[in-house]
Structure 1
Amino acid sequence: MKNAARILILLIVLVHVRDVWATHPIPEIQDTTTVPKDWFLRDPETDHVQGLSVEKAYNTLLRGRPSKTIVVAVIDTGIDINHEDLKDVIWTNAGEIPGNGIDDDKNGYIDDVHGWNFIGGKNGNVEKDTYEVTREYARLKPRFENADENKIAKKDKADYALYKKVKAKYDHDFKFNKDQFDQYNQQYQLYINAYGTLSFCDSLLRAQGDGKTLTKISLTAIAPKNDTVRFAKETLLRVLKESDDTTSVTNFLNELDEYLKQLKEGVDHYGTAVEYGYNMNYNPRTIVGDDPNNVHEKYYGNNDVTGPYARHGTHIAGVIGANRKNNIGIKGIADNVRIMSVRALPNGDERDKDIANAIRYAVDNGAQVVNMSFGKKFSPNKDLVDAAVKYAESKGVLLVHAAGNDNDNLDADPDFPNRTFQKGGQTKTWIEVGASSWGANENLVADFSNYGKKTVDVFAPGVEIYSTIPDNGYEDLQGTSMACPTVVGVAALLFSYYPDLTANQVKTIIDQSTRKFASLKVTQPGTANEVTLDNLSITGGVINAYEAVKLAESIKSTPANK
């Protein structure tokens, strides 16, 4: 659709919902037709998009140089390990004999050939789960629902304060998602009916003529043989009223079909949230078969590292390291990696126990960088995750985390997990990533991205990122989830070509080599305010592979840094 006005005409003509549309407009879809699919790999100077200069780094600084294979763990929804553009870069556990049902390498996980799945069990996999706010509300509600605030015991005051916070968020978020579902579903039903009517009109008129694609001109020339044909002709002409004479009905229907797909995604997203995410009676954990009350339990799950919901994780894997040499699909950022799939994310909120175990598994099995494109507002077992983060730091592993997509200031309203430990202190081998776009204007920072002058390290490309999805597919997705793997890819590239660098040094290089936009005022996400980029992040910059490689050349590791 060129704009919402054409769809409005369609609805007025076919279903008479002028008042409904005025109340619930669908936002414009951003036009990205002129932006290259691989814009995030390109160079700002030569290609005029705010990409990472990855190709420039390879062509001018790294050509012909030796590199070391780096293991990158993707803690996510699962990865399609058989994808045409990923199968050659998937990590394989050399210590396991596939399919023999034996823990050959004695690491506690049987047949973990390509990673491990902490949300699976003997009888399948968790696909959907509740949100943490739902689980916390369900836990605290029996204790405090009917409590007299004036009679709360001193030992219970902290829990009661948490209960009030959780309840307020649960009530707000459930209502928002239910309202969004109702609106999207209403509009989807209207559009699907409209699409059916238009398709019928198109088929009828083509059958009356020579069967060729109809345009505004050819429609005008049709002489109706009866009232049905007359209605069909008038309907299509009214829909095409604002179009060029050569616009075809088929093209219009194709555009409408694409719009319907976007609406359907909204229906599915908010429908899942209402039916599962905020459903206090839903518990898929029996599938896993672990003891939910034993947060220190480690050896559960299965070896299905793809699972039923691998779109998110597969997309991330492609950004990091899709095969750069096979001349198909896309090119990932790092050219010598092996990607380990650690499945711990359902369609819902991850659980602290699973994340802690996933981090430890990645570290123990050789990952040097870990991609963590997930987050939530409550973390009941944060101490467990903190211990795993400290463990990763002690082993020299770099953790890269997506800042989130709620246009929140993380300085004031933190997400979890994060670099700050519950008992004080911070990890030094953590990078927090916000999302940027391709243009050097006020929209450089993605309008959905979280930010924080003290909490978000860098911004990186996260808008309309084209990458792999299951079943040999490719798709544009956006979010800080997509920005995070661009940083992981650059980190893996640095580890690969400069194997003596430590995790702390790689973080420092990425931070210090960001491209700055000193005089540029950008829109602060979630507001109309214009601020400089250094008000939204620690470095005030966007990462750049070329600049990072140049800086890596000048840094020499020393025993004290190791």
Structure 2
Amino acid sequence: MPQKLQLFSTHIPFIIPKKSELTVHEKNNWQHKDYIEDTIPGVSTQKAYSLLKGKQATTVVIAILDTEVDIFHPELKDQLWINRDEIADNGIDDDANGYIDDVHGWNFLGNALDENTLYTSYEYTRILKRYATQFENKTINEIPDQDHAAFRTYQKAKKVYNTELQKVTENTGQYKAMYTLFKNAQNIISKYINDDKITIERLDSLKIAQPDLEEQIVLISNAIRYDVKEQDMLDQLDFLSASTATYLNLEFDDRKITGDNPEDIKDISYGNPNISKNVKSLYHGTLVAGVLSAKIDNKGVEGFSNAFKLMPLAISSNGDEHDKDIALAIRYAVDNGAKIINMSSGKNFSMHSNWVNDAIAYANNHEVLIVTSAGNDNKNIDLKENYYYPNDHQLPDTNNFIKVGAISQQVDSIHFKFANSSYGTINVDLFAPGEDIYTTSSSSQKYEVVSGTSFATPIVSGVAGLLLSYFPDLTVAQVKEILLSSGTSYAIEVSIASDTTETSKRIPFAELSKSGRVLNAYNAVRMAQQIVER
């Protein structure tokens, strides 16, 4: 009979007083700190390394299924996976894996002409296009029994689509009016104060001298006070414009560039190896990559291990991912040596979830862990109406899928759960730091602070990678069990949105996920040591 494992976990029954002001480095890398030793609710990565002194780490390949990644970033360029069996830029599929010149990964949103997709439709828009002829203006009584599930999905998609379209239309009008007022006020005030010298104090003085300009002065003062810049308004107008032109446009063909049949999973002759062409506009993957594998011994962003190698697989642009691209990217990652797949994205509809489920099962059969984000909708994704894809609802025999929620640095009932993080005791496995995470960026500054479950996810992938790099004989099921069982439990109630009203309610943090815990690398390493030493 196997020896029972000792449960290594940390229980925090009280709130530990904060230490003195954090240094810049501590603030930038708080996710690696330990709550008891540092009074910062990180995942205890630095403490975990005290258990690994003198041990040799083996290389772990981690696939990033995301947008394009800035492979030239100084903190990422040495961490890239290299396909040693492929010769760069010779136009030949040297390793016969079906992908030409895939030296560092693959872009599933491109073509052989080196063109890559910048915008895709929302999945519910695709559903309306797919079923319009079949279901439009019909009731369920007019639909064959075998099509009832698809019809209900179509009805749900149509409701969401109409709501979003109305919202975008209204917001477009409001933002255009707001921007017009702002520009008019700016032009009038610039006659009295140079644009580069406008301050609230100068505006207050101007209001006394020119009381008839009070409306314009208040508008510009509020913009300064709440840090609303002209570019912010233009960016929002661009987003709204893109929504009507692409995301919500029933006539938009988001596979025009790839040229494949999105309804045929066997049609794989598309894409290109250019995974870093549009990183200024498709920047998300670079943010995720830095959380995972920026070098651990530098003074900027701290990753988890210098033994990690990143395999960038571009499946995301502005809009929703195609299930076909997700499924093929998972299989590519598995077939080319990845042990962990990080997917910091998701969507509320999935037209071909069976393709993705088959790929998840394929990864499970090849001992590959998949880590995904819970989403930033502040919803209970256990509820059917809030399902977030991909998920493992229909995969009871797999043990390789983890969905992650996000916490903040503030251990109190109002702030501990990152405000936008979704949750669920069935479909969210555990939580990890996800607010104010300092990471690599494709901006000119090369770094920025970001928040969301997208950035809690690579923290879980990072600890999983740490385990596999020092304990390579662990099975994927063991890694998942360790991560979920060894976390920190916090005896605190947190605020969540009510399921029935717009008000909030408080529930124990332990009821937000399957494990009820926050990831803890130190405890995970201790448990892994116990397993391998048995």
Smaller-chain TM-score bracket: 0.7 to 0.9
Instruction: Name 1:488's counterpart in structure 2.
Output: 461
- Please give the secondary structure, in 2, of the residue aligned with 1:177: helix
- Please give the secondary structure, in 1, of the residue aligned with 2:255: helix
Q: Does 1:541 align with 2:517?
A: yes
Is the Cα–Cα contact under 8 Å of residues 347 and 389 in structure 2 kept in the other structure? yes
Cα distance between partner residues in 1 of 2:35 and 2:182 = 40
Instruction: Name 2:13's counterpart in structure 1.
Output: none
Q: Does 1:283 align with 2:256?
A: no
Which whole-Å deviations, capped at 9, do the CAs of 1:73-97 have from their partners, x for residues lacking one?
0001110100111111111111111
Is the Cα–Cα contact under 8 Å of residues 435 and 461 in structure 1 kept in the other structure? yes
1:427 Cα deviation from its structure 2 partner: 1.9
- Please give the secondary structure, in 2, of the residue aligned with 1:51: coil
Cα distance between partner residues in 2 of 1:432 and 1:205 = 47
Q: What amino acid is aligned across from residue 365 of structure 2 in structure 1?
A: S
Q: Does 1:551 align with 2:527?
A: yes
Instruction: Name 2:400's counterpart in structure 1.
Output: 429
Which whole-Å deviations, capped at 9, do the CAs of 1:162-218 have from their partners, x for residues lacking one?
322221121122223333444444434444554555555432997xxxxxx989499
> How does the TM-score come out when normalised to structure 1?
0.81
Cα distance between partner residues in 2 of 1:116 and 1:350 = 15
- Please give the secondary structure, in 1, of the residue aligned with 2:507: strand
Q: Rate the CA distance shift 1:237–1:381 in 2: closer, same or farther, 3 A.
A: closer
Q: What amino acid is aligned across from residue 86 of structure 1 in structure 2?
A: L
Alignment match of 2:169 (pick from 160, 178, 181): 178
Alignment match of 1:351 (pick from 322, 333, 339): 322
Cα distance between partner residues in 2 of 1:231 and 1:262 = 28
Q: What amino acid is aligned across from residue 91 of structure 2 in structure 1?
A: G
More off after superposition, 161-170 vs 538-547 = 161-170
Alignment length (residue pairs): 501
Cα distance between partner residues in 2 of 1:120 and 1:500 = 37
Alignment match of 1:523 (pick from 479, 485, 495): 495
Alignment match of 2:420 (pick from 428, 433, 448): 448
1:399 Cα deviation from its structure 2 partner: 0.3
Instruction: Name 1:404's counterpart in structure 2.
Output: 375
Q: Rate the CA distance shift 1:162–1:557 in 2: closer, same or farther, 3 A.
A: farther
Is the Cα–Cα contact under 8 Å of residues 403 and 449 in structure 1 kept in the other structure? yes
Is the Cα–Cα contact under 8 Å of residues 112 and 270 in structure 2 kept in the other structure? no
State which structure, 1 or 2, has the greater radius of gyration over its C-alpha atoms.
Answer: 1
Instruction: Name 1:13's counterpart in structure 2.
Output: none
- Please give the secondary structure, in 2, of the residue aligned with 1:310: coil
- Please give the secondary structure, in 1, of the residue aligned with 2:457: helix
Cα distance between partner residues in 2 of 1:145 and 1:237 = 49
Q: Does 1:415 align with 2:388?
A: yes
What pairs with 1:240-389 in structure 2 (closer than 5 Å)?
259-308=229-278, 309-327=281-299, 329-389=300-360
Q: Rate the CA distance shift 1:47–1:545 in 2: closer, same or farther, 3 A.
A: same
Q: What amino acid is aligned across from residue 486 of structure 1 in structure 2?
A: I
1:364 Cα deviation from its structure 2 partner: 0.7
Q: Rate the CA distance shift 1:140–1:324 in 2: closer, same or farther, 3 A.
A: same
Instruction: Name 1:86's counterpart in structure 2.
Output: 76
Is the Cα–Cα contact under 8 Å of residues 200 and 224 in structure 2 kept in the other structure? no
Moved over 6 A (4+): 32-35, 217-220, 232-241, 252-256
Q: What amino acid is aligned across from residue 322 of structure 1 in structure 2?
A: A
- Structure 2 residues without counterparts, runs of 5 or longer: 1-21
Is the Cα–Cα contact under 8 Å of residues 118 and 354 in structure 1 kept in the other structure? yes
Instruction: Name 2:12's counterpart in structure 1.
Output: none
Is the Cα–Cα contact under 8 Å of residues 373 and 402 in structure 1 kept in the other structure? yes
Cα distance between partner residues in 1 of 2:487 and 2:508 = 15
Cα distance between partner residues in 2 of 1:139 and 1:464 = 40
Q: What amino acid is aligned across from residue 442 of structure 2 in structure 1?
A: P
1:488 Cα deviation from its structure 2 partner: 0.7
Q: Rate the CA distance shift 1:65–1:235 in 2: closer, same or farther, 3 A.
A: farther
Instruction: Name 2:128's counterpart in structure 1.
Output: 137
- Please give the secondary structure, in 1, of the residue aligned with 2:421: coil
- Please give the secondary structure, in 2, of the residue aligned with 1:529: strand
Q: What amino acid is aligned across from residue 352 of structure 2 in structure 1?
A: N
> How does the TM-score come out when normalised to structure 2?
0.85
- Please give the secondary structure, in 2, of the residue aligned with 1:522: strand
Instruction: Name 2:95's counterpart in structure 1.
Output: 105
Cα distance between partner residues in 1 of 2:195 and 2:148 = 70
1:161 Cα deviation from its structure 2 partner: 2.6
Cα distance between partner residues in 1 of 2:85 and 2:330 = 19
Q: Rate the CA distance shift 1:484–1:264 in 2: closer, same or farther, 3 A.
A: farther
Is the Cα–Cα contact under 8 Å of residues 453 and 538 in structure 1 kept in the other structure? yes
Q: What amino acid is aligned across from residue 315 of structure 1 in structure 2?
A: L
Q: Rate the CA distance shift 1:263–1:336 in 2: closer, same or farther, 3 A.
A: farther
1:539 Cα deviation from its structure 2 partner: 0.8
Of structures 1 and 2, the one with the larger relative CO (CA 8 A, separation 6+) is: 2
- Please give the secondary structure, in 2, of the residue aligned with 1:324: coil
Cα distance between partner residues in 1 of 2:80 and 2:147 = 49
Q: Rate the CA distance shift 1:397–1:148 in 2: closer, same or farther, 3 A.
A: closer
Which whole-Å deviations, capped at 9, do the CAs of 1:419-460 have from their partners, x for residues lacking one?
122xx6242111110111111111211121111111100011
Instruction: Name 2:36's counterpart in structure 1.
Output: 45
- Please give the secondary structure, in 2, of the residue aligned with 1:109: coil
Cα distance between partner residues in 2 of 1:37 and 1:73 = 24
Cα distance between partner residues in 2 of 1:264 and 1:64 = 54
Is the Cα–Cα contact under 8 Å of residues 189 and 216 in structure 2 kept in the other structure? no
